[in-house]
Structure 1
Amino acid sequence: MVYRRLGNSGLHVSAIGLGGWLTYGGHVGDEKTFEYMKQAYDLGVNFFDTAENYTAGKSEIAMGKAIQKYGWKRSDLVISTKHIIEGLRASLDRLQLEYVDIVYAHRPDRLTPMEETVRAFNHVIDRGMAFYWGTSEWSADEIQEAVGIARDLKLIGPVVEQPLYNMLDRQKV
């Protein structure tokens, strides 16, 4: 497996990640989730992506069960989820983890001031709930604004963008 650094961070992620959007906890039962995650892990995948709203949190529960079932070392995995503070607390409970590596701002919230968003992500990082934050499906202008605000406030800015890109949809990248 090829591994790459996540932006300017020290986090090394597998070039291929496994996400649990509509499958885990939904269309695919726990045993298949375990089988697919183990196969990915055995092939060198260390990056697993989920979100609070993927099958109403069931994706996180299924992925958390797989991590526990196989006794994988937390330091060998890169786990990402989406949402801030209360949502992240609930995600960590479902995943049965103390922290995630990456928490995403999934789609920009244009009703919330960017400074508030940047501060919220720094809050969860300062509390040890996540190491890095990133954006998901943001425009270049929105990312630039967040980076600028973080720099001005001497806070941590986003280190990664997760665009809509998969085996079936390759138009954005």
Structure 2
Amino acid sequence: MEFRYLGHSGLKISEVTYGNWLTHGSQLENDQARSCVRAALEAGITTFDTADVYANTQAETVLGEALKDERRESLEIMTKVFGPIGPKGHNDLGLSRKHIMEAAHGSLKRLQTDYIDVYQAHRYDYETPLEETMQAFADLVRAGKVLYVGVSEWTVDQLRAAHGLARDLGFQLISNQPEYSMLWRVIEAEVVPASQELGISQVVWSPIAQGVLTGKYQPGEQPPEGSRATDEKGGANSIKRWMGEDVLTRVQQLKPVAAEAGLSMAALAVAWVLQNANVATAIIGASRPEQVHDNVQAAGVRLSPEILARIDEILDPVIERDPARTLERSPKTREA
């Protein structure tokens, strides 16, 4: 495993992060989830990402239990706040001071830790003044309950505004967590250049495009039994945008490229996002320990310009690059 600095800070995190969206507390039994966490630790992963909204707080609980016997100082635990949790009442979501403070204390209990390494605003809250949100984060930092602050799926304008407020309040905004993969490149035109200027790193999710870039989904065929595309608890809905014939056909053409690089299709996809210097880490998920061991083969890999060019040539017609797509990620109203 190799490590990178997160933003303009002294915090180093593993190039590959283990995340538990759509798995812990949902798709996987707890023993299976713990086996995946153990595989991540054995592979040298030290950074773990979750969110209170995942499985309505259960994902944090499972992760906290899996990590409770590890040396805390050797780990970087990241979680997020925004989405509706608990009974989903009128203050059970968003980035108000009330919700941030209550959510942070809940996450600390579930994760069985005294502090969160990186606390992230899961989405932008249009109904709460940004000043209120950033003041709440600043107070958590000063209290020692949060070490660093990040955001997820924020636009360039939102990043600039938050970065300025954080500076004025005496703390750093050091990360943004966007979707990023060979197929989804909407951050490249605007978010990445601005982030480089501001000292913000990308902590990218879905580098394998919900499993599509593994090549296991064949055009014209039914999805494999037990795969994410067959999961009715949320997985099937999240992956359906990538299940078109054109996308699946072009992904199959990446197999000889992966073979030339000496990587599995999954590891090639993870390695690809890590070629971007503004990416600090790629978040992987897993339903089996062997998937973790496969994905971490991407750490430290440097893909040749020729391989990168071939990937672009194969996928170009199906790549999403429109930076405006980031704006769609945050709900304009805060409704439970």
Structure (1/2) with the larger strand percentage: 1
Match of 1:19 in 2: 19
The structure whose Rg is larger is: 2
Q: 1:110 offset after TM fit, Å?
A: 1.1
Tell me, in whole angstroms, the C-alpha distance in 2 between the residues paired with 1:164 and 1:123.
Answer: 29
Aligned to 1:147: 163
CA shift, 1:21, in A, is: 0.8
The AA in structure 2 aligned to 1:92 is: L
Residue number in structure 1 paired with 2:127: 111
Aligned residues: 170
Residue of structure 2 aligned with 1:137, choices 130, 153, 166: 153
Residues 115 and 154 (structure 1), Cα distance of their counterparts in 2 relative to 1, 3 Å cut:
same
- Per the alignment, residue 168 of structure 1 pairs with 209
Cα offsets for 1:18-70 (capped at 9, x unmatched)? 111110011101111111011111111111001111001110110011112xx
Kindly indicate whether the alpha-carbon contact (under 8 Å) linking 2:64 and 2:112 is maintained by their aligned counterparts in 1: yes
For the pair 1:37 / 2:53, whether they are aligned, the reply is: no
1:73 aligns with 2:71: yes
* 1:118–1:157 CA contact under 8 A, matched in 2: no
Q: Report the secondary structure of 2:48's partner residue.
A: strand
Partner of 1:99: 115
Unaligned runs of 5+ in 2: 82-99, 181-205, 211-272, 274-319, 324-336
Secondary structure of 2:174 counterpart: coil
Displacement, 1:164? 1.8
Q: Quick one: distance in 2 between partners of 1:164 and 1:91?
A: 23
The residue number in structure 1 matching 2:247 is none
Corresponding residue for residue 87 of structure 1: 103
Structure having greater relative contact order (Cα 8 Å, sep ≥ 6): 2
Give TM-score, length-normalised by structure 2: 0.49
Question: Do the aligned partners of residues 9 and 168 (structure 1) sit closer, same or farther apart at CA in structure 2, a change above 3 Å counting?
Answer: same
1:156 aligns with 2:171: yes
Question: Which has the larger helix fraction?
Answer: 2
Question: What stretches of structure 1 of length at least 5 have no aligned partner?
Answer: none
Equivalent residue, structure 1, for 2:59: 59
Whole-angstrom distance in 2 between the partners of 1:155 and 1:102: 16
Deviation at 1:96, TM superposition (A): 0.9
How much is the aligned-residue C-alpha RMSD, in angstroms? 1.6
* Distance in 1 between residues matched to 2:105 and 2:59, nearest whole Å: 15
Instruction: Map 1:119-130 to 2 at 5 A.
Output: 119-130=135-146
Q: Contact 2:138–2:169 at 8 Å: present in 1 too?
A: no
Give the letter aligned to residue 16 of structure 1.
Answer: V
Asked whether the 8 Å contact 2:138–2:166 carries over to 1, the reply is: no
Secondary structure of 1:160's match?
strand
Question: What is the rounded CA distance, in whole Å, between the counterparts of 1:108 and 1:42 in structure 2?
Answer: 35
